[in-house]
Structure 1
Amino acid sequence: MARTARGAENLEWAREVLAQAQTVEQLRQAQAVVLPLDYGLSMEQTARVIGRSVPWTCRLRNRFLAGEIVGDGQRQSRGGRRRQNMSAEQERELLAPFLERASTGGILVVGQVKAEIEARLGRSMALSSVYNLLHRHGWRKLAPDKRHPQSDPLAQQEWKKNSPKTSPKPARSGPAKARSS
């Protein structure tokens, strides 16, 4: 025999939400509360009526009974930085001197940034996490250019044209002889 449905104290509120539902999910959530209480449906029957699985129907019911209506904008969506080491402001504060030096022509040494972060946190940190932190704040690793910025392509062409020709190396005649021991 199935348990009796809980949430009778929220039944009037569920009926109001059922009448004023703006989305299909809100309607289903209110039905997940009203159907078992008013009509004595089991969770399996309720799930079949609202077109969701039994676990999802239980989740909708529990969220409603906890005071949360689906789609009302109150619940934060997943995403963001749940396991952050520092807030974004603390990261900016820590990186400010390094990025300032790098913007004026200095070199940003990631090992120094890593040491500073580890000193602040009091524990070690992966190098990839330091690179991710730098990337979050707009830093990118610069690679050398293909050519020197002060090079002169015309002068290079002139040098190639006027440089002395070197004689080719003489070709070997025949196969190399093996030494005998």
Structure 2
Amino acid sequence: MARPPTGREFIKAAKERIASAKTVDALRAAQALLLPLEFGLSLEETATVIGLSKSRTGKLRTQFQRIETGALQIRSKKELRNHARMSLAEEVKFLARFVAQAKDPGTLSIAELKAELEQCIGRPVSTSTVYQLLRRHGVTKLARQTSADIILAQAWEKLSRRNSGMKGKA
């Protein structure tokens, strides 16, 4: 015989989470905890109802309980950066002076920003890293491409068309 489900102290929180869930994962986690406790469903039945495997359902139950007790913190997508050169706070501090100088759209030079970023972190970075930095902080409209960047982008587009078999448009 299977163990009885635990977590009765989280029933109220699970009901609130079901009512206010903004993602499918949040809804399923609350259902994984609530269905066995309120309706007496087994783990297999609960997994079938929420459309997940039995093992994933059990993990969701445990995760929900750990989040409610504070043992596990939910991290946002931005916080899951494995190869970060700077923390988000350092990036904000770095970008602050450039954003203050570039009040109008198209006044922030990517080349200058790239040079400053390389000097700040002490190693070379690609131009795409600079654009990702700007996108992450919502200031891409301030960026200005240099004429060399535009020429390189056009050349890359022509080359990719030629390699993909799209002839005649270049």
TM-score by length of 1: 0.46
Report which of the two structures shows the higher radius of gyration computed on alpha carbons.
1
Q: Which has the higher contact order (CA 8 A, sep 6+)?
A: 2
TM-score by length of 2: 0.48
Q: Compare the two structures and name the one with the higher helix fraction.
A: 2
